[in-house]
Structure 1
Amino acid sequence: MVPAGRVIVAADPTMSEWFESRAWIWLHYAVVKLGRGELFEAIGMLSFFREQVLGPMLYRRANLPQRGVRRIELHGIDPDGLLASTLATHDRDSVSMAIRMAVDAYIDLRADALPENIADDVALRAVLAMLKEYSERG
């Protein structure tokens, strides 16, 4: 219950901090699903990540209102193919590579407006270490 006179404000999903506080959790989830062999779940998380994080960040880069991945092709705001690089087939190596590309795309897009809540990229290193371990397991 909220005390009288207090207002709770939802986190602004257009702010860099909103992306940073969620990106590594969602990427970790995808890596864990890869490690368990749940490829469809990992592929689904990558789709969710594109819609909730990468797409909006591409719109932000283009100074357009953030709309997930809607009409990205029409606007031509992904000339480097960041989103396409995160697509995977139902194959362990393909999913592993797509997750790695999602990490790289996020880091690239994050550089446009660095969030204040970056500690020291501990989460990045943890996700990459897990991804390497699970990818080598085959």
Structure 2
Amino acid sequence: MIDRVPAQFRGVADGVVAVAAADPRFLAVIVNGSVANGQPDEWSDLDLVVVCADPYRSEVVAQGKDFAAAAGPLLVAFTGEHVGEPRLLIALYGPPVIHVDLKFMGLGDLGERVEDGLVLWQRHDSVQQQLDATSAAWPQPDAQWIEDRFWVWIHYVAAKIGRGELFEAVDGLGMIRSAALVPSIVARRTDRPTGVRRIEQLAPEMVPALARTVAMPDRADCLRALRAAVELYVEVRGDDVVQQTEAEKAVLGYLDGFPA
């Protein structure tokens, strides 16, 4: 399977496999992401899952940087607590500069994976047995979860605009796009939603409306973009949600009375 890895990543991929194969704690190396689904391009990252025997998982995660350094010319690496995934090591190798995500998982963790990748190497068939016995489940947007939060988010951003915290408001609008608007748009267009990524290809007809929710750090422009976000959400909101009618009415009234 190593021949499926693009040439620019082959050296690091080979290095990861070699380090894993030399350590009896490790059971497999799996490639995920665009390489696994056959759609890599020159801008792709390399997403690797390094599987170990369950008793060693904590130890392996703690030693992740040492593993990464042994696999190739490591420039810098840090763990993924900021995305809620401490098992993830985000690494930069080079030159040439390439981005590699190394996720260290125990054998038992594979039962809760989000995608099926390509096994580049495995020590024995225990990993394949676990993969065959379980199914990947990509996280899906929850329309009710979005509806239950949306109007609070709108009020929050409006308050930041009122206070003059305009960069905070700009960030809040970005969060609303990523957490509410785009998930609502792509819910029936892909089985692998990833925030705003590839929205230009998935729903090109919605790009102008989304662009109207982008603001400069200017009070009037932030208010304009916030109202555009409300208009778009009402258009793409899931049909089967229990609408937070009272909250919606109150927040729309709040916006209508917002000082110019």
Relative to the length of structure 2, the TM-score reads 0.43
Q: C-alpha offsets along residues 41-73 of structure 1, whole Å, 9 cap, x if unaligned?
A: 111100001011111111114244321100111
Of 183, 191, 198 in structure 2, the residue corresponding to residue 56 of structure 1 is: 183
Q: Which amino acid aligns with 1:41?
A: E
2:240 is aligned to: 114
* Cα distance in 1, alignment partners of residues 210 and 181 from structure 2: 7
Structure 2 stretches lacking a partner, 5+ long: 1-138
Deviations 1:82-101 (A, max 9, x none): 21110111211111010001
Which fold has the larger relative contact order, with Cα–Cα distance below 8 Å and residues 6 or more apart in sequence?
A: 1
The reply on whether 1:36 has 2:160 as its aligned counterpart is no
Secondary structure, aligned partner of 1:69: coil
State the partner residue of 1:100. 227
Aligned counterpart in structure 1 of residue 251 of structure 2, from 127, 135, 138: 127
Runs ≥4 in structure 1, deviation > 3 angstroms?
A: none
C-alpha distance in 1, partners of 2:140/2:166?
28
Secondary structure of 2:215's counterpart equals coil
- The structure richer in helix per residue is 1
1:13 & 1:62 partners in 2: Cα distance?
12
More strand, by proportion:
2
Residues 90/24 of structure 1: CA separation in 2 closer, same or farther (3 Å cut): same
Aligned-pair CA distance for 1:22: 1.1
2:240 partner amino acid: L
* Percent identity between the two aligned chains: 36
Distance 1:34 1:61 in 2: 33
Residue 90 of structure 1 corresponds to which residue in structure 2?
Answer: 217
Map of 2:119 onto structure 1: none
Give me the whole-angstrom Cα distance separating, in 1, the residues matched to 2:140 and 2:256: 30
In structure 1, how many angstroms separate the alpha carbons of the residues matched to 2:201 and 2:162? Answer: 36
C-alpha contact (below 8 Å) 1:59/1:66 kept by paired residues: yes
User: What is the alpha-carbon root mean square deviation over aligned residues?
Assistant: 1.8
Give me the whole-angstrom Cα distance separating, in 2, the residues matched to 1:82 and 1:18: 22
- In structure 1, what residue type is equivalent to 2:227? R
- Counterpart Cα distance in 1 of 2:181 and 2:196: 8
Tell me which amino acid in the other structure corresponds to 2:217.
Answer: H
1:74 matched to 2:215? The reply is: no
Offset from partner CA, 1:18-51 (integer Å, 9 cap, x none): 1111111111111111111111111110000101
The change in CA–CA distance for 1:99 and 1:37 in structure 2 (over 3 A counts) is same
Give the gaps of 5 or more residues in structure 1. 1-11
